[in-house]
Structure 1
Amino acid sequence: MATAYTISDDVFIPIDGAGAIPIKDIIPWALFGVLIAMICLYFVSTEQGAVSLFKGMYVHEFVHDGRHLMGFPCH
């Protein structure tokens, strides 16, 4: 005999806000995400320019197509 299954039996669907994440738990992860995004943006936009952290053209060549795709001129 088949058992009755409803959507309220699913443990992955929060009901009545039971699975809400507090803001104080989200803020550190949001700041970490912003930091990683800023580091990526630095490497795509300005590395191997007037201000560079690494010697040579390795970083420039690695992000070259992404640089043009995002509209940053590089040559």
Structure 2
Amino acid sequence: MTTRLQLDIELDRLEQMLPHWRETMRHEAQFWPQFRALLEPIVEDLDRDDRQYVEARVARMLTLNGCDPGKRHGEGW
């Protein structure tokens, strides 16, 4: 079972990667598949409340890092 503290640690780690990752990315189309691949292990098997918590955190981190969550390719992460 994942605790909120564990979720926060993983999400903080992902968020810290974003600025450098976005700077060095060759093409924007590479971002979403890679982002989903990194996020999937964090969100798998979460209950509804934790999933909503993660979705809110991810939307905020993406917005703060210049990524438009509405432009992601495909549904979900």
Length-normalised TM-score, structure 1: 0.29
More helix by share: 2
Higher relative contact order at CA 8 Å, sep ≥6: structure 1 or structure 2?
A: 2
Length-normalised TM-score, structure 2: 0.28
Q: Greater CA radius of gyration, 1 or 2?
A: 1
